[in-house]
Structure 1
């Protein structure tokens, strides 16, 4: 057991050091972690199918996982492939219009999870440990058309936010307690390691939070889950000169309150269907409230079917409305405050629309799992986020009419394996 913990902890550290930026899905959160949950639309509050999924969304579920009463280790990875582009147009001066495609990159995102029993008789206790890339977004328009001065209006920069890179890696030890046959409770400590680069160099910070959860297994076929995740604030020092006074400013970014409810129905050992609803409180989270994000309701549904004793197919759907508000009619010559720092309204709007277009809404997911033995299985999946465009209009810093537009779509490939012991 000590050897297992040592290996897993070492991999956690390697994963944290290698954590890259992701792109947005539900706001700037991935819809789920691990190839199983992601292939099922991100569901898992009531019946996650692996240790990663349980610790990520509801630690109480560790007591009712398909691996119980044994132990399980999961290793997973996601290859994230976003496609983003932007356009800035001037109705009165079409020759000043610019458009750019962001640099297309493949981002690897690690995920590692562990769940082990602490007792072998009632009341049951289990311990879990996970590390994963959970949040992030960014664009890279360096050297592109939007990354230069507008020659028609005094040479002022077309946009702020032409290079943004946010990545959040989470380390989560968890405990679950099952006092009764049909009821379990769980808690996890979330330790966040976040990096933010707004073209002035990378700024790192740490945040802390907790997650609480409960599972009620009403019958052999029905399960209900509830979880709450506290906000987690990270201070990023010397990240950008928002007020253009020659000094780099601090930006606070806070992962928001989250409340999730899920229901799972499993009429046979071959078939499982789950549905989740999640609320994300972006409008009261540091940073996101400053850039005027709406709260999100996330709706997810997923299913898996064992077509063969060794082969499982998975499918899912995930929807959440774009949280980035449109500010049509904005006055680009106004001055707004961002955490106490003054910023021209035009550059505030380009930062929101060009730099952080976290706007995708609809996701479809597919996946497959294969059991080589009762102890070892492999999983793969695919997630597609359909293209979504955000547009708004107002004036630039000279008072000329301007239209801002950004589009984002995403594809990702997921893979991983499970070892039970």
Structure 2
């Protein structure tokens, strides 16, 4: 039963999607000061303690301070040109409202303190991956995915060292906790039955690291390079099937054997990425930013899910609960961002930015849980410092995607789903930095 395995697969893979300000499985909401310039210059400008994520070497440019904040995301998803059918060719009944991403908040917090003139210590807590989606109950693509609630929380203790007055390095191990619950439906319509429910839960803790270098090339030009390592998870959990059956006694005796709870697991590696950027201080008022990020999405080529104690049923169902490989065929991507900041006066700085972020998945492999396309983002931001000790940053971002297609074929227990998706989102962020 491929659907059951794919829902467990989505526990990890879909966890990193949703409609945040980065594509594929990643999100960017770890800094609101960076959000104002569409995260251009993220690795080359240590504006506040959020540099723990952007470039840990940047802590060498700071004193003792704390930064806390979050981003509010409001997404809009329009679905059209739908063709949803069972394996026998009959149309799947239902609706396609598309209102499947509830409003959500992504929080973060950081602390930095000098140890001596060259050594700094910091601690960051942030959410690098998150997904909360919930299609309507009668969604025509409910056999491909109904509801998802997954998040990854990362804790990153960090150190930086100033090698010279112009060059610093930083390193931080990451402790990453993933938890999630996913729901989807199974269909036995071809066997005289109705929908059954599949509920999946799983979790794991895995480790990685972030490392960076920050260098002043001239008095006005700074270069930053940050490497975020891959993180390998071994998710353990269970898959529960309920409501499988049929009004036809012969089929009911077969389908009802699907009901039960099965231990399951998968090995998943979320990819490494490299962020390179420049910060150029044009004059006392203007600062320019440019950056590029490479992400090795090709690690998500295929994933195998294994379940234990699964039943073996007659054809065409068979024993498809034991082990199934899902092809992803994702590709590596380069994303780009440019931005600028204008120092209006000693208290106020104004920001703007633009980013291009391609999707790692094509129409042939896209699914209803991660229906993302090539993305563009425009952002505005401002920082207000009423005192030397305190800065309040705010930012707004609007993203829109190219129209994309989802093409999922049906099987014996799952309706197929073909549709076009038109996605956009608004983001609002606020951050408080206090120096002491």
Instruction: Quickly say closer, same or farther: Cα 1:137–1:357, change in 2 above 3 A.
Output: farther
The structure 1 residue matched to 2:419, chosen from 379, 404, 407, is 404
Q: How does 1:254-293 map to 2 (within 5 A)?
A: 254-285=269-300, 290-293=327-330
Instruction: Quickly say closer, same or farther: Cα 1:412–1:126, change in 2 above 3 A.
Output: same
Aligned length, in residue pairs: 361
Q: How does 1:274-353 map to 2 (within 5 A)?
A: 274-285=289-300, 290-327=327-364, 352-353=366-367
The structure 2 residue matched to 1:384, chosen from 377, 398, 406, is 398
Residues 287-311 of structure 1 show CA distances to partners (whole Å, capped at 9, x for unaligned) of 7784332222111112111112111
Partner Cα separation in structure 2 for residue 101 and residue 220 of structure 1: 51
1:81 — aligned with what? 74
Secondary structure of the corresponding residue to residue 127 of structure 1: strand
Displacement of 1:252 in angstroms is 3.4
Instruction: Quickly say closer, same or farther: Cα 1:204–1:400, change in 2 above 3 A.
Output: closer
1:222 — aligned with what? 221
Displacement of 1:95 in angstroms is 8.7
Partner Cα separation in structure 1 for residue 158 and residue 415 of structure 2: 55
1:58 — aligned with what? 55
The structure 2 residue matched to 1:48, chosen from 39, 43, 46, is 46
Displacement of 1:33 in angstroms is 1.5
Partner Cα separation in structure 2 for residue 245 and residue 286 of structure 1: 31
Q: Is the counterpart of residue 28 in structure 1 residue 22 in structure 2?
A: no
Matched-pair contact (CA < 8 Å) for 2:60–2:168: yes
Residues 48-96 of structure 1 show CA distances to partners (whole Å, capped at 9, x for unaligned) of 31111x11121112123xxx3x211101111111223445315987896
Q: Which runs of 5+ in 2 are unaligned?
A: 1-14, 184-198, 242-257, 304-325
Between 1:55-64 and 1:388-397, the stretch displaced more is: 388-397
Matched-pair contact (CA < 8 Å) for 1:23–1:136: no
Instruction: Quickly say closer, same or farther: Cα 1:353–1:378, change in 2 above 3 A.
Output: same
Matched-pair contact (CA < 8 Å) for 1:23–1:138: no
Displacement of 1:412 in angstroms is 1.2
2:178 — aligned with what? 194
Matched-pair contact (CA < 8 Å) for 2:281–2:288: yes
The structure 1 residue matched to 2:373, chosen from 344, 359, 368, is 359
The structure 2 residue matched to 1:131, chosen from 125, 131, 137, is 125
Partner Cα separation in structure 2 for residue 26 and residue 394 of structure 1: 21
Matched-pair contact (CA < 8 Å) for 1:300–1:316: yes
2:159 — aligned with what? 175
Residues 327-358 of structure 1 show CA distances to partners (whole Å, capped at 9, x for unaligned) of 1xxxxxxxxxxxxxxxxxxxxx6xx4212223
Secondary structure of the corresponding residue to residue 355 of structure 1: coil
Partner Cα separation in structure 2 for residue 400 and residue 368 of structure 1: 48
| RMSD across aligned positions (CA) | 3.0
Partner Cα separation in structure 2 for residue 63 and residue 253 of structure 1: 34
2:236 — aligned with what? 237
Displacement of 1:32 in angstroms is 4.4
Instruction: Quickly say closer, same or farther: Cα 1:95–1:285, change in 2 above 3 A.
Output: closer
Instruction: Quickly say closer, same or farther: Cα 1:85–1:407, change in 2 above 3 A.
Output: same
Q: How does 1:151-162 map to 2 (within 5 A)?
A: 159-162=143-146
Secondary structure of the corresponding residue to residue 131 of structure 1: strand
Structure with larger Rg: 2
